[in-house]
A and B are shown apart, each in its own frame.
Chain A
Amino acid sequence: MAIVTPGFRGRRRAQADRLPPGQYLEDDFPVLSAGPTPRIPLDRWEFSIETATGPARVWTWAQLLAIAPETPTVDIHCVTKWSKLDTRWTGVSLDTLLTEVDTDAAFALVESYGGYTTNLPLADLLNGQAWIVYRYDGEDLRAEHGGPARLLVPHLYFWKSAKWVRRIHLLPRDQPGFWESLGYHDYGDPWREQRYAGD
């Protein structure tokens, strides 16, 4: 049972109505990484969606940028308890990308350059809930924040919004990703505070 350190307040934080339980408001955009920042040359970057059957659908950088983007403004919630409100992004909706893919898979395993993975139900990538984003706050997405492109799935804890996104595998069964296989929740709804497996 930790004792209070008199006089310590930490970063200025405030509770707001739009925050899920246990979260604090953050003005900065913290960089939290599980590994080194990969640098991917754009002429070799590609993003693909793969299914168990059938060929992969692959987009080059030029092909991704040729798709009419959306500009979602969303709140994001990190499992380490910081939340950032009204973050502005530009990217392509997964609804648009997934129309080109035929599948009856129910789950997705997202893979990043550098080896990171995370899992979520395919349904959570649909219906305006997810994007492949490449601009943040009016500028190109920086490498330390997941650039050139990352997944954005703001209704789940932010570890599901995989940085340096490379591939999405569509699978018949749920397969735990990097943090999920270390005890984090397979779904990760911040409003039900689903941080750890069993929550």
Chain B
Amino acid sequence: MPTPPPATIHPDGHTDGNALAGPLGELFAVDLTAAATSCVGCGRRSHLAELHLYSSGPGLIARCPGCHDPVLRLVRTPERLILDLRGTVSLSVFLPSPGE
């Protein structure tokens, strides 16, 4: 894990993981914004909707609200959707009950 740089980080320009619902819906049938994540960097647990989302053109980067490490990264190319989850220990979501 990289040591934090000697700079002060002022978070700015971010939204949040609510906006991931549409893009992730291209891959998953279940809404993941309520999924629980656990940051590999600091251990903080956040719902995906609470992550700080940077919608940089090349992709979507969802960062831990505590330590700002990337938790989830999403890139959409014309042919592929690439989801990188190395920043979370796990992703945990309630399943719909049968018949819903």
Contact = CB atoms under 8 A, between A and B. Distances in A.
Is there a contact between chains A and B in the complex with CB atoms less than 8 Å apart?
A: yes
Interface of A: 30-41, 44, 78-80, 113-115, 144, 159, 166, 179, 181-184, 195-196
Interface of B is mostly: loop
A44 B4 CA distance: 14
A196 B61 CA distance: 17
A33 to B, nearest CB: 5
A182 B57 contact: no
Nearest to B69: A115
A196 B57 contact: no
A80 B57 contact: yes
A169 to B, nearest CB: 13
Contacts of B61: 34-35
Contact of A113 (B5, B10, B82): B5
A166 B12 CA distance: 21
B47 interface: no
Contact of B58 (A38, A41, A79): A79
A184 B58 contact: yes
B56 interface: yes
A58 to B, nearest CB: 14
B6 interface: yes
Interface string B53-67: 010111101010000
Given A34-B54, A179-B58, A182-B59, A196 B2 contact: no
Interface string B62-83: 0100001110010101011010
